[in-house]
Structure 1
Amino acid sequence: MSNSQARPLKKFLSVAVFLAVAAASLAMAGFAYHSSQEAARFKFAATVDDAMNRIESRLNLHLSLLRSTQALFKVRGREIGRTEFKAFFDALDVENNFKGLRGIGFLGIAKRGDEAQLEQDIRRIGGTEGSIYPPSELEWRTPIVLYEPLSEANISSLGYDMFTEEARRAAIEMAMTSGVPRATARIVLGENTGSAEKVPGFLVFASVDEDGSDTATGGVKPTVSGLVYVAFRTGDLFEAALGSAPLLPVHAEVFDGDASDDNLFYRSPTPPGAAYSEDFRVTRSIVLAGRPWTVRFRPTEGFSEPSSPTIPVMLGLFGLLLAGAIAMVARYQERAYNAAERLHETTEKSLLEKDLMLQEMKHRIKNSITRVLAMARQTAAHATDVNEFSTSFAARLQAMAASQDMLTRSRWQKADLGELLRIELGQVFGKDLPDDMLSGPVVLLNETTTQALGLTFHELATNALKYGEAGNTVGALKVKWRVHEEGGERRLGLTWTESGNKAISPPTRTGFGTKLIDMNITRELYGTIERDYRADGLLVQIDIPLKGLSKTRE
């Protein structure tokens, strides 16, 4: 392909570079966003595990009452009276230890037509009329003989035949035939007994055998003398489980069986957070006394994600800025290439100059982009928001630009150390610097040293303005340098002194500015830097070899 054919394609190079870098940056931002969402989902799943542990622990604690009551009736049987049962209930301190428990009771059992003994038990134990209600044509009669807490409002529940109600009957039959506790579906407690308190809840039944055995198989056996049961208020039970400190940022829904509105047991009063999608919904299953439940969780507004959602946005914005910068560089490189190509068409000498110029420019652009990328990454990592990132990044670019400007004026040959200090300190403290602030011989620096020291002086001056008294007190900052010989090697020693009435304490963490200074001095220039935080200010001593630098003039 000839040069004339390649020129139209080169016009689109900067656009192609911009699109490629922008696409890569946006992809990186999207990946960061996806990763932050995955981390948030993992954190919420762990919170759900905590909530499920609380629910299961609360249910197991309450079911322990059923086993205790079952053991009491296995031992005492029909000999237990209302006073003894009340003392047993009061000793449990239900109000403080078993929130959500509505009461504990005992059901007698007899074939239809053999209710006389049960009615005598109700009169003898419960102290009421002893009649069993409502009328029933079913095979079994299971009236309430004992119940606590018993009050004037619910005493009418004694004698109520639970076998007449479908949901209770299903659980009673399974408890009698299996010999293990069985739970009912969702019911309204007090609805059929004339009680003044009617609340949603459920019951759990366990059979009691006359011979002391609590196991029955192959159908109802004559040894089953009754059933003990516990009644739970659904709302109070789950609020007690999930409301203990520390509060969990979860919105819970509990269903009897499948998750549908008809099977809803309980719903948390705190609504789910509007910012969280269906991806954050977590569903778990639990089996209580043979009955499966479904528990569904969503995060509330109190849920905090492990990483800030602004980070992907910052990455995306930075990527677009970087794409624009690289596209501009590509555009300038294209123009430089075209200019060198025109020179090539004139003379062979122009061709040699063009090749040298391109190689020089590529090298400098690569170094500059590498520095800009490193500063941008580190500045973004230590910034708390976009404004802080923009301010810090712009200041460091300005410091780098000042060094570049000095080198440009000298055709990239040399830069005076004293002039470099005046430019960098003037950007921070103003152009009118005291005459005695800087002192030392003339030292000419090469390109690498100029750029490294320019950024170093900018960071030191910025810190002095922030934390010292250099910006408020004349003479608070002194910078001196000298050339000395050590081990047969000529070296530059620079002393940066901040003085005043305020002590400067060592930082508790190493920021990017400090890392940038150390990297420039130790890695870029192979020198040393020491900091002395004193009661009257800060002393910084920098020592770098003069090998590779321009000669000095004393």
Structure 2
Amino acid sequence: MSPPADAATDLPASVLTLSPAALYERIAAAVVASAGEAVLVCAREGIVTHANAAARQLAAQDPVGRPFAEAVPLVFPGANGLMAPDEIVAMALRGTPLQGLAAQLPNAEGAEASQNRDLLVNAVPLELIPGEAGEAGRAGGAIVTLVDLTPRREAERQRLLLMRELDHRVKNTLALVLSIGSRTAHHEETLEGFQRAFAGRIQALAAAHNLLADNSWSNLTLEDLVRTEIAPSSGTAAARVRTEGLDIAVAPRAAIAFGLVVHELTTNAVKFGALSVADGTVSLTRVAMPSEARNALVLEWREQGGPPVTAPGRRGFGQTVISRSLRYSGEGGAELSFEPDGVRCEIRIPAEDLRERVG
């Protein structure tokens, strides 16, 4: 029968019967194993005697029983070749702790430098062995910890990329707003007309941005855009807008441009076209996918049942928005035709802006 646990330490008697060296070994192994960061223990000869799971994941091979410099071939950028992995252990063995050294660990032979893992290295003496009378003690080993900064550095790089992208998009959007304001003022004859037209166009732009934000700037379909853009302008007439083949995801720039085109077409249809009368209808359908002959997705906006159509006497800004919004690419664009039975518009979205829908 095992003796009772020691009341003072509350440890099992089987542990208390261990020799001090064995007990020390067990405690040290438990501490190393439980550490979240990579931990390696080296003997005085620089040979790795213990390594936890995190350290084994960093090392290409099992580090135990191998020299530290071989087990973890660290590179120290900016050290001009004066710092080497074995020197880390040697300095700790001489009683000099090292804290916060920046290092890199190559991922694989022949891999690019950008694929190296970024590490923060700490090395401290493991245990001081008392020296002879009048002599300084010496370290019995060294503990080296490796903090993997790679995920943190990658997150920082991603944050900087997102900030640059946000800056780019904000500047482009502000430039677009200024252009819309200037051109709307040029084509409207009254302040009320300007306010109404400008507000509608900015709301159309905002609606596209809101959809993009809700979808993390991806996975946004033409169908989503159409339904969002026609609702404010057409009201109950939105039910008379039929769509077909628009379950296609597009890039952000195409989404914004397409949204503005749909807004202008809807506004015109509500004021003068098919949606201005009770029996008029609008269809927006896919006509052709990209092919060798045409590197663009082709859609057709077609109005029927509205008042007779005649071409306007002057070109308004709405026509300019429609014809120019998708012209950022040679394959993109939109062409209006004022046919007697209703307005038609061929819309071309560049194939390069089509995306595979996720989910």
| Partners of 2:282 and 2:301 within 8 A in 1 | yes
Choose the corresponding residue for 1:364, options 162, 169, 182: 169
- Asked if residue 424 in structure 1 is aligned to residue 229 in structure 2, the reply is yes
Choose the corresponding residue for 1:466, options 262, 265, 271: 271
Choose the corresponding residue for 2:289, options 474, 484, 489: 484
Task: Give the alignment of 1:228-377 within 5 angstroms.
Answer: 348-349=153-154, 351-377=156-182
Residue equivalent to 1:395? 200
Larger Cα-atom Rg: 1
Q: CA RMSD in A?
A: 2.5
Choose the corresponding residue for 1:409, options 207, 214, 218: 214
Residue equivalent to 1:378? 183
SS in 2 for 1:405: helix
Choose the corresponding residue for 1:496, options 283, 287, 301: 301
Choose the corresponding residue for 2:261, options 446, 456, 465: 456
Query: Which string of whole-angstrom CA distances, capped at 9 and with x for unpartnered residues, describes residues 482-514 of structure 1?
Result: 442432655311111111252111111111111
SS in 2 for 1:465: helix
Residue equivalent to 2:242? 437
Relative to 1, partners in 2 of residues 1:444 and 1:525: Cα closer, same or farther, differing over 3 Å?
farther
Relative to 1, partners in 2 of residues 1:512 and 1:436: Cα closer, same or farther, differing over 3 Å?
closer
Residue 465 of structure 1 and its aligned partner are, at CA, apart by 1.0
Residue 377 of structure 1 and its aligned partner are, at CA, apart by 0.9
Amino acid at match of 1:547: E
Structure whose residues are more often helix by fraction: 1
Residue 435 of structure 1 and its aligned partner are, at CA, apart by 7.2
Amino acid at match of 1:517: I
Could you tell me the percent identity over the aligned residues?
A: 28
Relative to 1, partners in 2 of residues 1:372 and 1:495: Cα closer, same or farther, differing over 3 Å?
same
Relative to 1, partners in 2 of residues 1:355 and 1:431: Cα closer, same or farther, differing over 3 Å?
farther
Amino acid at match of 2:173: S
| Alpha-carbon distance between aligned partners in 1 of 2:307 and 2:353, rounded to the nearest angstrom | 39
| Alpha-carbon distance between aligned partners in 2 of 1:470 and 1:372, rounded to the nearest angstrom | 27
| Partners of 1:489 and 1:545 within 8 A in 2 | no
Q: Gapped runs of 5+ residues in structure 2?
A: 1-151
Amino acid at match of 1:487: E
SS in 1 for 2:238: coil
Residue 481 of structure 1 and its aligned partner are, at CA, apart by 1.3
Relative to 1, partners in 2 of residues 1:542 and 1:548: Cα closer, same or farther, differing over 3 Å?
closer
Task: Give the alignment of 1:20-169 within 5 angstroms.
Answer: none
| Alpha-carbon distance between aligned partners in 2 of 1:434 and 1:352, rounded to the nearest angstrom | 46
Residue equivalent to 2:338? 533
Give the TM-score normalised by structure 1.
0.35
Choose the corresponding residue for 2:350, options 512, 527, 545: 545
Query: Which string of whole-angstrom CA distances, capped at 9 and with x for unpartnered residues, describes residues 111-142 of structure 1?
Result: xxxxxxxxxxxxxxxxxxxxxxxxxxxxxxxx
Amino acid at match of 2:299: L
Amino acid at match of 2:192: N
More deviation in 481-490 or 540-549? 481-490
- Asked if residue 515 in structure 1 is aligned to residue 320 in structure 2, the reply is yes
Relative to 1, partners in 2 of residues 1:435 and 1:503: Cα closer, same or farther, differing over 3 Å?
closer
| Alpha-carbon distance between aligned partners in 2 of 1:497 and 1:417, rounded to the nearest angstrom | 16
Relative to 1, partners in 2 of residues 1:387 and 1:481: Cα closer, same or farther, differing over 3 Å?
same
Q: How many residues align?
A: 208
SS in 1 for 2:346: strand
Residue equivalent to 2:252? 447
SS in 1 for 2:160: helix
Residue 460 of structure 1 and its aligned partner are, at CA, apart by 0.5
| Alpha-carbon distance between aligned partners in 2 of 1:436 and 1:460, rounded to the nearest angstrom | 12
| Alpha-carbon distance between aligned partners in 1 of 2:238 and 2:220, rounded to the nearest angstrom | 20
Relative to 1, partners in 2 of residues 1:534 and 1:456: Cα closer, same or farther, differing over 3 Å?
same
Which structure is higher in RCO with an 8 Å CA cutoff and minimum separation 6?
1
Relative to 1, partners in 2 of residues 1:441 and 1:383: Cα closer, same or farther, differing over 3 Å?
closer
Query: Which string of whole-angstrom CA distances, capped at 9 and with x for unpartnered residues, describes residues 29-82 of structure 1?
Result: xxxxxxxxxxxxxxxxxxxxxxxxxxxxxxxxxxxxxxxxxxxxxxxxxxxxxx
| Alpha-carbon distance between aligned partners in 2 of 1:414 and 1:487, rounded to the nearest angstrom | 25
Q: Gapped runs of 5+ residues in structure 1?
A: 1-346
